[in-house]
Every structure is written in structure tokens, then in C-alpha cells.
Structure 1
Amino acid sequence: MLYRVEGIVIRSMDYGEGNKIITLCTENYGKVGVLVRGAKKVKSRHAALTQPFTYGQYVFFRNGNGLGTLNAGEIFESYHSLRENIEQAAYASYACELVDRGLHDEEIGAFWFHQLKACLDSLLESKDIHVVIHIFEMKILQASGYGPELEQCISCGRKSDEFKVSPRLGGVLCQSCKHHDPASYTVSPRTLKLLQLFAKIDLRRLGNIDVKDETKAELKKVMRDFMDMQMGLHLKSRNFIDQLDKYDI
């Protein structure tokens, strides 16, 4: 059967001497694997379609739910400049790997496709890279069914101005319930408000948010803890980001 889909390349790997297999995050068909014959050859007309982050239209043949074979394609946005900037490339790779590893095929629909595209667009527009990626992490948590409860105590449902964050329990605890997780910790009111905003915002409507360095540090800790406790993914792209941060590249 012939398929014509809009997709974003979230993974690209060599296959044999001259071919590549790409994984697409598509608007209507979830994640799709496509074999691109001859993509590694110098004069291949399809080579550009296999580059990471590329957004375009892909036409391929596929029998059943197996691997498709590319017939034709058209690039809508190459995101070429993201691949040329080491920091932007690292975070874009992280976003794509989150989709690839964090979501099952049936969980990816039009909304998540558009959130990934909005994430790449925001990185391309040089919006705050940390804010963008933390919002995207929040979207992945929500898509996976692990979206944290940040508006009321996850134990008793009480609203409060003095919450403690409990990544292990997946939300916030009021002062009366903090004993349920001795490892829970306090964050600044600004950080908590931003986390609540991240849970509600659509990346396609993200403007410019000015965040102080100390708030960014808290946001990174909280989101890292939520991702580790709730999803437990070990991602190569995140390890690379940690190396960038370590050496301040």
C-alpha cells in the first residue's frame, strides 16, 4: 500500500552499505520506519530526507505494519542550522529521542507531532533552550500518563502556597502530607508557578519567558527528577547534554 505522510525524522541509522532506515514521527500514523535505498551514496536524491530533524512529506510503500520503502519525498523544513549548532543539535536530538523512546506508537497522534515540531521551531528561533526543553519534557510526561499533579496535594487534594515537590509520588505534597515522602523538597514559588505553567502551555503558543539562572537550576533538578523517577529512560542524547554542561561547551 502506498502512503503519503507528513513526518519528522527522529532517528536515522545506516543499513547495509548504501542504505538508511529512518524513523518518522508522523501526524496521523504514529511512528513509522522507512527504508531509504541508496541514501548513503554521494549523488542520492533522497539523502537529505534522512537527516535528523528533517520535516517533510514522505511517500513510501508498506505491506501491513512492517518497514516501508521510500518512493519519493519533499522537504518542508530541513532544520539545517540546528544540526550546525552543537548545543541546539544536542537538545533537538534529546527531544527526538524522548519521542522515540518515551512514547509508544499508539500514543503518538497529531498533537504530539505538532508539539515536537513546535519544539524544533522554538529551538530554531533561539528561544530559551532550557525553557523549551523542560516544557517538552512535561508534554512527554503527560503523554505517557505520568503528568505530575502540581496544583493540589497529590495525597489529600488540598491547595496550598507551601508545597513540597515529590518526584517519586508524581506531584506536590502539602505540609500535612509531606511525611508520605521524606525525600520531597521545597522549591521557590517562582519555580512552582513555572512548572504549573509548563503543564498547561501549548508549545505552539510559547512566547519569550525570562528565567533567572537560579530558577533554571531548580527547574532542571525538578524536571530531571520527574523524568528519572517516572519514566526511567537512559538516553544517549541526555548524557551528551550533561557533558556539554560539564565542560560549558
Structure 2
Amino acid sequence: MMNKWEGIVLRTMPYGETNKIVTILTKEAGKLTAMARGAKKPASRLSSITQLFVYGSFLLRTGKGMGSLEQGEPIDSMRHIREDLEATAYASYIVELIDRLTEDGQRSSGIFNLLFEALHAINEGYDPEAIALFVEWKMLPVAGIHPVLHQCASCGSVEGEFAFSFKEIGFLCHRCFHIDPYIVRITPAQLKLIRTFATVPITQVGSLTLKKSTKQFMKKLVRQVYDEQVGLRLKSRSFLDQLDRTPSLLPPKEKPAESDE
């Protein structure tokens, strides 16, 4: 059966001397894996369409077993992501996270739209570290984790001072701090930011610029949830950790005005 679907390339793997196995997240049919014959040849008509991050239109032959990529037309090659080391690193982390948390054939327009919005934002020059945080928080429910962020996870209160609890996986109000001796105190601005990451679409946020310390704090929270509750280990995260330890690996950039509001 032949189908034409829009999709984004999540992963490629060489197969033999000239072929690639390509994993594509499609809008219509979920995640699919297909053989792209001859795609490793520079002159192949499938060469450009089987690059990581490419958003395109794919003609796939499907049936029993692995499908076959017959034709493809790039819609957006995500050129900036490919040319910028930091953008590449965070985009690689995002696609690996989504790839690992989705099953083949699992249809979800929400996940596809999240990936498209995230890559498009990074490609447009938005802070890739902040965009990755949006994806991390929004993918928690897909991983089976539903943090309580709209009220106290214990008593249901929506007023007072709040902290984040890894035990309750969500917010605790000051009346319930005793439930978890290892709570992480958060400011009202941090609480608002966590809710923004988890609930507000990337397209509705605009240009969000955050202090490095704020991003590191938010990253520590959400990744500890993944580590403790999901047990997910991603290869791309190791490189991001290396960039954090050695920022000199990145070329200097003009810094925008930072704000946590």
C-alpha cells in the first residue's frame, strides 16, 4: 500500500553500503520506520529527504514488516539547526526523547505538533535550551507521569507558598511541606514558569529569554523526574552535559536581555 504523509525525520541508520533505515514521525500515521534504498549515495533523490530533522512529504510503501521510502520532498530542511552546534545538540536531544517515548504506529497529532513547533522555534533562532525544557515538561504525560501543577498534590489548595515534591510528583503547599522532607522550595515566578512549560503551547510564548541559572534549575527538576520515575537514559543528553561543563565548546553569541517573567 502506498501512502503520502508529512513527517519529520527522527533517526537514520546506515544499512549496507548505500542504504539507510529511516524513522519518521508522521502527522497522519505516527512513527514509522522505512528502508531508503540508495539514500547514502550523494546523488540519490532520497539523500536530502533522509537527513535528521528534515520536515517533508514522504511517499511510503507499507505492508508487513518494514516499509519502503519511495519518494520524498523536503518542506523545511531546518538549515539553521544543522549549522549551529548548540541548536543541533538540543534538537538531537528533543528528537531522541520523543523517539524513545513513542511507539511505532502510535498516532498523536499533539506529539507531532510539539516536535514541529520545537524544531521550528529552534530553527528560527529561539533559545534551544529553553525550547528543550518545553518539550521535556510536555512529554512527561506521554511517559506516564502526570505531575500535579495546578494545585497542592496533597490537600488541593491553590493558595499559599509552594514547593516541588519528587515524592508527590508535583507542588505541595506550605501546609503540606511536612509530607516530604526533601521538597525543593520555589518562588512564585518559578511556579508560573513550570506551569508555562507544561501547559502553554510553544507558539503562544513568543521570545522567552531566561537566565542561565533559571534554566539550570528547571532542567534539574524535570530531569530528576525522568531519572527517578521513567529511568530514561539518552545518548544526546551526555553531549548536552558536556556543553554545560565546557561552554567554551560553543562559539560566542550576542546575548539577549534575560528575563524570567
The TM-score bracket by the shorter chain reads: over 0.9
Q: Which residue of 2 aligns with 1:113?
A: 112
* In 2, Cα distance between equivalents of 1:227 and 1:107: 21
Query: TM-score normalized by structure 2?
Result: 0.90
Q: Distance in 1 between matches of 2:148 and 2:161?
A: 14
In 1, the alpha carbon distance for the partners of 2:38 and 2:143 equals 36
Shift of 1:192: 1.1
Task: Find the aligned partners of 2:44 and 2:186 in 1 and give their Cα distance.
Answer: 52
Unaligned residue ranges in structure 1 (runs of 5+): none
The 3 A distance-change label for structure 1 pair 232 and 160 is farther
The alignment yields a C-alpha RMSD, in angstroms, of 1.6
Question: Residue 253 of structure 2 aligns with which residue?
Answer: none
Moved more, 113-122 or 227-236: 227-236
Q: Tell me which residue corresponds to 2:254.
A: none
1:153 CA displacement: 1.2
Cα deviation, 1:63-122, whole Å, max 9, x if unaligned, reads: 14x211111111000112211211100100111001100223465411211110100011
Displacement after TM superposition at 1:144 (Å): 3.0
Residues 137-165 of structure 1 deviation map (CA, whole Å, 9 limit, x = unaligned): 11111333313111211122122331110
Does the CA-based 8 Å contact 1:187-1:218 persist in structure 2? no
For these two proteins, the number of residue pairs brought into alignment is 248
Look up the match of 1:31. Answer: 31
Q: 1:128 to 1:42 in 2, by over 3 A?
A: closer
Label 1:107 to 1:149 Cα distance change in 2 as closer, same or farther (>3 A).
farther
Q: Percent identity?
A: 40
Report the Cα offset of residue 213 of structure 1.
Answer: 3.1
What stretches of structure 1 move > 4 A for 4+ residues in a row?
A: none
Aligned to 1:157: 156
- Preserved contact between residue 19 and residue 40 of structure 1 (Cα < 8 Å): yes
- Which residue of structure 2 lines up, in the alignment, with residue 240 of structure 1? 239
**Partner Cα distance (2:27, 2:16) in 1:** 29
User: Do the aligned residues in 2 keep the contact of 1:12 with 1:22 (CA within 8 Å)?
Assistant: yes
Give the CA deviation at 1:237.
0.6
